[in-house]
Each structure stands twice: as structure tokens, then as C-alpha cells.
Amino acid sequence: MTTFSTIYGDLSGVEFRTLFSNGKMDGCLVTEANSLKTPYGTLVPQYEAEDMGRRSVKPMYFYKDGSLKSISLQSQTMLETPVGNIPAELVTFHKNGSIKRIFSLDGKLSGFWSWKNEFALAQDITFKSPVGTLTAKLIGLQFYESGALKSITLWPGQTLTVTTPMGEIVVRKGLAFYESGAIRSFEPQKKIDISTPIGIITSWDNEPNGIHGDINSVQLSEDGSIEALSTVDHAVQVSVREQNAELFHPGVKNNVCGDERKVSVPMKVRFEKKRVIFHDNPKFTFDLEHTSFEIKKMNIATKEPAYSCS
């Protein structure tokens, strides 16, 4: 055990461990209560696991200049942030010292502690955003180095109603912004029709991936035009001059429970520099000017994905 000086104050009860394969010790554990004075409030690093829901004691990580890279807090603490006061159990920082990510809860998910147990502890958080003041149960928030809000991650079942270039949309899972405040991406709660350079496509991702809301299925350029979307409802027939037409369409897979139900696999369509790209595959890239596109309705009977097989 030893004492370690940081730019936020001294830490006592410190255990240094080799945390990376290169042998560098960029972090430490503490085994007793400490207080660090930061621009966002006084932070007490985690030094013991209070209950079965919390992870075992996690290390703090530092940048080379001694500033914090990440810290797990002993108890949920209210932080003063650019979007208001936000409760936090885990915080990460940019190199310039500004907050990068805030996680309001940092539970140990296991067979005994599920996301539903975590959600039961979540509270409504009211915060400022580029689209106005919002309230929801949040998994986390992400910020740019400037302090501007970068993305919002919602708990399953939570939604926000926001004004987008496509009109007022109810979003789930996540909402992301450019540093300017323009909407960068969102995950719609229900199917929406989007006007694209090749026609109107119904956008919907029945299985949005990822654990954060930084990347969502509907992606916009900073000027508000559509950049990418996912669809399970439409196929696109592509014709290039006199060549045979090629049909791009959503896929179908078996339900994870192993029963006879079929589940749609969304088709990704991206618009980039007067080109259209299907399935995010460079081989399926077509020039808008020299290609004709016909949008076709999908008629395959599929079900929504099942996440419980009981």
C-alpha cells in the first residue's frame, strides 16, 4: 500500500498493478476512501463493492500527464456537466480533462444480476440537448472534447420524442449529434418513410445492434439530408445501362429460439457522394447519375425477433 499524488489530490491505500501487456502501470486500485477535487465535483473512487449488484473494485486509469482517464465511483455521484447535473457511477475523460462518457449505473451483469435489475435502479434524468430539454432513463451520455453532447443511450423500453429533419420522431435506443448540434443519427421507435435520392424507403431496423447510442440505423449528413438507413420493407432493383437488373433486398434468418418463425435481416442503404451503396459493401456501389433504381415492396412473411425463448 502506498500514497499516490494526482492533479486532483493525493490518493492513499493505493495498489499499483500491471494493467497492460506492455508492462506500463497506467492505473491503480484504492482500498480506502479518498476524495478527488475535479471541475465536475468531488469524486470518491470505488474502494469496495457494497452489494452484489456492483462490480468488484475497478481500477482508475490515468493519462501520462496525471489527468484522469476513467474512474469508477464508490457510490452514485451527481456531476456538474455541460448538459446539467447528471448522476454517475462510472466516468471517462478526454485527454484535455473534459468528460467523455458518463454511465449512471455500473452494475455487474451476471446470472444473478440482469439488465432488468439495473433498470429497476435507474431514475429519470432531465438534461439539456441540442433538440431541447429531455427526460428519460439513461444508460449513458457521451460528449465531445468541447463539452458538446455527442450521443444519448437509452435503456430498453425508453423513448424520446424529438424534432428531426424528417419531422417529429419517437426514438429508442439512441440519439447522436454533430458537434454543431445537428442530429447525426437516431433509432426510430416505429417504421418511418424517408425520402432518399432514389425514392421513398420505409426505414426500420428490427434488431438495432450495439450497447450505446452513438451509431444508429438512420444516419444524417450535417445539413439534414439522409446518409444511411436500414429497411426490412423494401428491395431495390438496380439497372445499369443495358446490363441485367440486379435486386438488392433484406435477408431472412431463423429465429434464435430455433422454432419455425423467420426473422428479417435489414438491408443497409448508404448515400455517399452521388453514389448508393448496399449492405455497406463497396462491391455494391452504384453511381446515381448513370443508374436507374426501382423500389419494390417486400412480401416475405416474417416475425419480430424473439429475445426470450420461454
- Given a contact cutoff of 8 angstroms between Cβ atoms, the answer to whether 189 and 159 are in contact is yes
pLDDT band at 209 (very low <50, low <70, confident <90, very high): low
Residue 203 and residue 166 in contact, taking contact as beta carbons nearer than 8 Å: no
| pLDDT score at 109 | 45
Q: What is the pLDDT of residue 63?
A: 85
- pTM listed for this prediction: 0.87
pLDDT per residue as tens digits for the range 128-180: 999 999 999 999 999 999 999 999 999 888 999 999 999 999 999 999 999 99
Assess whether pLDDT exceeds 70 at residue 102. yes
Q: State the pLDDT at residue 20.
A: 54
Question: For residue 171, what are the contacts with CB-CB under 8 A and spacing of at least 6?
Answer: 154, 159, 160, 161, 162, 186, 187, 188, 189, 216
pLDDT above 70 covers what percent of the chain? 84
Reference 144, options 93, 185, 186; nearest CA is: 93
Q: Is the pLDDT of residue 207 over 60?
A: yes
Average pLDDT, the chain: 86
- The winner for highest mean pLDDT among 55-59, 91-95, 298-302 is 91-95
Please tell me the predicted confidence (pLDDT) of residue 48. Answer: 86
Kindly state the average pLDDT of the residues 299-305: 63
**How far, CA to CA in Å, does 310 sit from each of 120, 156, 256, 304?**
22, 19, 12, 16
